């Protein structure tokens, strides 16, 4: 199926879901990837995504460094160290992004929580939001990757067309 068609299908499903993911957070916090990571990269979620606020709060409580991405060009994200002084503003994509803070390499993170709309459990394929930002990041990232998903986002095999540039995640929790 066409990627844009699948994106629209999944977005329509996600709009109507409740956002109670305590069990999913528990699964994440029990993973070896989480336990060994001193620095995590994670987006500030949108209304249709799994809320990342509890993840960020837990990381701070556990004295982990948190890196939040921001868009710097049509093709590039950079990661900024997040703390209580970080100023946030909405981007052109209606995503909260840091406006200040120390810019870090994504490879400073040991764990990257990767957003997406749909995931294939047999091979870790993910369907993102269409900008290719995370495909480019994942090509250079050498740490652990985990995506969190609702059951409605999970497929055994991709139902969308997979392109050569599409990057996989190492683990999907749902």
| CATH number of residue 105's parent domain | 3.40.50.10420
Output the six-digit token pair for 37.
């990571």
- Give the integer Cα–Cα distance in Å for 68 and 98: 7
2 within 8 A of 118, measured Cβ to Cβ: no
Binding site members: 3-7, 44, 49, 126-134
Binding site members for ATP: 3-7, 126-134
* Structural domain for 101, as ranges: 3-173
Binding site members for substrate: 44, 49
Neighbours of 91 (CB within 10 A): 13
For residue 92, the model assigns a pLDDT of 84
φ/ψ of residue 154, rounded to 5: -100, 135
Can you name the residues that pair with 82 across neighbouring β-strands? 66
Placement of tokens 């991709």 in the chain: 158
Q: What is the pTM of this model?
A: 0.95
Domain count within the chain: 1
Q: Mind listing the pLDDT tens digit of every residue in the chain (174 residues)? A: 999 999 999 999 999 888 789 999 999 999 999 999 999 999 999 999 999 999 999 999 999 999 999 999 988 999 999 999 999 999 988 899 999 999 999 999 999 999 999 999 999 999 999 999 999 999 999 999 999 999 999 999 999 999 999 999 999 999
């Amino acid at each position: 199926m066409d990627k844009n068609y699948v994106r629209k299908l999944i977005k329509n499903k996600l709009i109507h879901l409740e956002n109670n993911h305590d069990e999913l957070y528990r699964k994440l916090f029990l993973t070896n990837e989480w336990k060994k990571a001193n620095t995590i990269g994670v987006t500030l979620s949108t209304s249709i995504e799994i809320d990342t606020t509890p993840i960020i709060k837990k990381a701070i409580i556990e004295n982990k460094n948190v890196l939040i991405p921001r868009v710097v060009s049509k093709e590039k994200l950079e990661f900024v160290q997040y703390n209580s002084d970080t100023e946030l503003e909405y981007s052109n994509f209606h995503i909260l992004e840091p406006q200040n803070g120390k810019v870090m390499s994504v490879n400073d993170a040991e764990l990257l929580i990767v957003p997406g709309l749909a995931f294939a459990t047999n091979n870790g394929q993910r369907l993102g939001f269409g900008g290719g930002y995370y495909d480019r990041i994942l090509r250079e990232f050498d740490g652990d990757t985990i995506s969190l998903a609702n059951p409605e986002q999970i497929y055994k095999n991709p139902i969308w067309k997979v392109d050569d540039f599409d990057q996989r995640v190492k683990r999907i929790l749902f």
